[in-house]
Amino acid sequence: MNFKHVTGLLCAAAMSLAVGSVAQAQDKVVKIGAILPMSGGTASIGAHAKAALDVAMDIINNPHPELGNFPLAKGAGLAGLGGAKVEVVIADNQGNPATGQNQALRLITEEKVAALFGSYQSGVTLTSSAIAEKYGVPFLNSESVASNLTERGFKWFFRTTPIATDFAKIYVDFLADIKAQGAKTDAVALVHDNTEYGTSVANTIAAAFKEKGQPVALDIAYPVNATDVQGQVLQLKDKKPDVVIMISYTSDAILFAKTMQSLDYKPAVLLADDAGYSDPSFTKAVGKISQGVFNRSSWVVGPSGSPSAIIADMYKKKSGEEMDDTVARQMQGFFVLAEAIDRAGSTEPAKVQAALKATDLKPEQLMIGYKGVKFDDKGQNILASGAIIQLQDGENYVSVWPKANAEKPPVLPYKGW
Amino acid sequence: MSFVLVQVIVGGLLLGAVYALFSSGLTLVWGMMNIVNFAHGDFVMLGMYVAYVVYTLMGGGPILGAPLATLVLATVGVVVYFALIRDIMKGPMLAQILGTFGLALLLRYSVFWWFGANFLSMPPNIVGGTYDFAGLRIEASRLLAGVVALLVTFGLHLLLTRTSLGSKMLAVAEDQTAAQLMGIRPDTMQAVAWAIAAGATGLAGALIANFFYIVPTVGETLGIVAFVTVSLGGFGSVPGALVAGLLIGVIESLSGYLIGAVYKDIVVYVLFLFFLWFRPQGLMGKM
């Protein structure tokens, strides 16, 4: 018997041990499949989400009395299932709708997950949730904002995040408000990529402005992951809109910031629709040349000692990054899903679905600034809400609107660099 | 012609020069050994990361980063040649495609593992800001990349056509056995070709890093452009890659500005296919 045989045998022994221990713990583990972009152009988002899910699992699976009455924090595991631990199985969607669909199928049929969670890009959520619907497995989405996702008559799809129509209304109101304070906001330009997210959000915002009697003056679409955006910036420079609304993922957001600087273009108001502009790597890379950009967010860190501040701290220790809006919405969504499974007291799909339908969380039970979590018949959280934040110093966003919970007044015009 | 249009065309030319710069390495390897290097875009990416590391560790700008990236990538090129290319060249075409594709993923995800998935960026104005010629704005970093692109392309062309090293390399490309009979070592020549090609690619990456974002997957975005540039210019033709790069840059910018950015790739690829229909060997390629 040579060395190879010995190692082979040892491996086999180790594997059988591992299999044995899994089998023992099986009745005490609730598996949740998370479909996230772990590679591809938005891999930074996936990496942040993974860190957030690790923190969420820690909070759920271990006692955290410092979080007070935050759901699932006090005890170890899910009390409703005899202290069962939550385990996340992460699947890489590569930012690709077809891959997301395959991963959903694999997680359901092979990993036998109790529920699915994901998938960041609206286009991927669209396809992967269709598989969950077909197999009758609950799917919780926490961050995709394309309005049509909850317009498909799905029975197993639940979404906690505010959506494009909510944001469009926020943007219209915000611009009307700063107009009343003397800013010029008549001509609005939309700049968006050609993905499901970019086009559907742009359409929703355009419709909201049209309804207000202020049709969008300029609509600029560009292919996602562009190599060059000089043409688009020059179009803006030429047409001189008062307000530019950016609907872009991280790579393009960085390229736009750099190109705007090199071509010396500054609109009076630059307003971003989350996504790339909330990625911490955006602020690190080009924050200093994007000072004064407005953005939307549902995340506001609370006073020190509050659950949201403690969770933000745990997340920072885990990932080395500040908590941002996207990752906060993802984490909140995961807690909502875990809380429903706990309340269902079972991993049986129909029971989890019923528990999700009955979800009624109050603002003080959340880590994020929603007015609560309660789903309508379409699976959309009707209490989701958001605010406007501004990157005033080029490093950290501060909330500036609505006035009631603003840290600072909005600063105009856009400063840039 | 409106003033904005001038800016669009100038921007397109500068962009095209950069396309040419990072395509010259690909066309060289393609012409020399008939190998399609799918890891090419990831060589550009490595060059960008070398420049970034040089900046963060030593605070050096492109003066330090560009030569170091060239050296590091030239070394990577030689290692890749002896460890992978030399063997898969003997195999079927499919082995070559999958081999270099595997290398691409290996490089991409090694960088991913080491640096993480976050987007990085060189500090703005590391190469002297932006020049303003009566309203026409030219970024110093793009200008630098464009000028170096022209110099490198010209240098590579001279090397291949006017030096004995170049003649030896071309002889190996033409007929390996005959070259061997003349006392030329194909192995050495091909390793040199890989060093030059990868070095030029590393240089391109270091220069692009000054005005583009840096991320492990950036090779995907840039790699496709390199392939189109090389096939339009003609496989193996360095001057062809330059002309093709400039053409694609200007066409992209013009169609992006005049028709709309989502259509610019359609315009580029329709023209590209239409052109190959008449001249399948590319602008300056040999049949």
pLDDT in tens, A203-223: 999 999 999 899 999 999 998
Query: Which residues in chain A have their CB less than 8 angstroms from residue B225's CB?
Result: 227
Is the pLDDT higher at A404 or at A319? A319
Highest mean pLDDT among A58-62, A408-412, B18-22, B163-167: A58-62
pLDDT at A29: 93
**A279 shares contact with chain B (CB less than 8 Å):** yes
- What percent of chain A is modeled with pLDDT above 70? 94
Query: Which residues in chain B have their CB less than 8 angstroms from residue A227's CB?
Result: 15, 221-222, 225
Q: What kind of fold does domain A27-162+302-365 have according to CATH?
A: Rossmann fold (3.40.50)
A22 pLDDT above the threshold of 70: no
Average pLDDT across chain A, whole number: 90
Name the DSSP class of A416: B
**A41 shares contact with chain B (CB less than 8 Å):** yes
Contact pairs from chain A to chain B, CB under 8 Å: 122
Q: How many residues does chain B have?
A: 287
Which of A232, A285, A288 has the CB atom closest to B213's CB atom? Answer: A285
pLDDT at A253: 95
CATH 1.10.10.10 fits A165-297+387-405, yes or no: no
**A318 shares contact with chain B (CB less than 8 Å):** no
Query: Which residues in chain B have their CB less than 8 angstroms from residue A228's CB?
Result: 11, 15, 252-253, 256
Is the peptide bond preceding residue A215 cis, with omega within 30 degrees of 0? no
**B215 shares contact with chain A (CB less than 8 Å):** yes
Confidence of residue A1 (pLDDT cuts 50, 70, 90): very low
Mean pLDDT over A342-370 rounds to: 94
pLDDT at B202: 93
pLDDT at A306: 87
Is the peptide bond preceding residue A119 cis, with omega within 30 degrees of 0? yes
Q: Answer positive or negative: Cα dihedral of B262, B263, B266, B271.
A: negative
A117 sits in which H/E element:
strand A115-118
Beta bridge partners of A85: A29
Backbone phi, then psi, for A58, in 5-degree steps? Answer: -60, -45
Q: Which of A254, A148, A154 is nearest to A201 (CA)?
A: A148
Please tell me the distance from the alpha carbon of residue B83 to that of residue A175, in angstroms, as a whole number.
60
For the packed helices B62-80 and B186-208, what is the interaxial angle rounded to 10 degrees?
Answer: 150
Mean pLDDT over A298-321 rounds to: 89
Backbone phi, then psi, for A34, in 5-degree steps? Answer: -115, 120
The model's pLDDT over A229-270, given as tens digits with 9 standing for 90+, comes to 988 999 999 899 999 999 999 999 999 999 999 889 999 999
Listed by start position, the domains of chain B span 3-278
pLDDT at B79: 96
pTM for the whole structure = 0.82
Q: Which of A82, A80, A90 is nearest to A25 (CA)?
A: A82
- The minimum CA-CA distance between B192 and chain A, rounded to whole Å, is 31
CATH of domain B3-278: 1.10.3470
Mutate to test the interface with B, among A96, A234, A327 (most CBs of B within 10 A): A234
A37, closest residue in chain B (CA to CA): B117
Instruction: Tell the residue number behind the tokens 């911490």, with chain if given.
Output: A280
A355 pLDDT above the threshold of 60: yes
**B118 shares contact with chain A (CB less than 8 Å):** yes
The model's pLDDT over A29-48, given as tens digits with 9 standing for 90+, comes to 999 999 999 988 788 899 99
pLDDT at A42: 85
**A252 shares contact with chain B (CB less than 8 Å):** no
Query: Which residues in chain B have their CB less than 8 angstroms from residue A189's CB?
Result: none
Please tell me the distance from the alpha carbon of residue B236 to that of residue B81, in angstroms, as a whole number.
18
Please tell me the distance from the alpha carbon of residue B162 to that of residue A156, in angstroms, as a whole number.
70
**B134 shares contact with chain A (CB less than 8 Å):** no
Enter the tokens of residue A210.
Answer: 């049209």
Among A199-203, A356-360, B22-26, the range scoring the smallest mean pLDDT is B22-26
- The minimum CA-CA distance between A289 and chain B, rounded to whole Å, is 8
Q: What is the mean pLDDT of each run of 10 residues along chain B (287 residues)?
A: 83 89 86 84 94 87 87 95 90 88 93 88 79 85 89 88 89 86 89 92 91 90 87 87 91 86 83 86 77
The model's pLDDT over A114-164, given as tens digits with 9 standing for 90+, comes to 999 999 999 999 999 999 999 999 999 999 998 899 999 999 999 999 998
pLDDT at A129: 96
Please tell me the distance from the alpha carbon of residue A378 to that of residue A153, in angstroms, as a whole number.
6
As annotated, the residues of chain A forming the CATH 3.40.50.2300 domain(s) are 27-162+302-365, 165-297+387-405
Task: Say yes or no for a CB contact (<8 Å) between A279 and B211.
Answer: no
**B142 shares contact with chain A (CB less than 8 Å):** yes
Tell me the ipTM for this assembly: 0.85
Among A8-12, A96-100, A287-291, A395-399, the range scoring the smallest mean pLDDT is A8-12
Query: Which residues in chain B have their CB less than 8 angstroms from residue A222's CB?
Result: 256, 261-262
**B116 shares contact with chain A (CB less than 8 Å):** yes
A286, closest residue in chain B (CA to CA): B121
pLDDT at B1: 54
**A230 shares contact with chain B (CB less than 8 Å):** yes
A19 pLDDT above the threshold of 50: no
Mean pLDDT over A2-25 rounds to: 48
**A258 shares contact with chain B (CB less than 8 Å):** yes
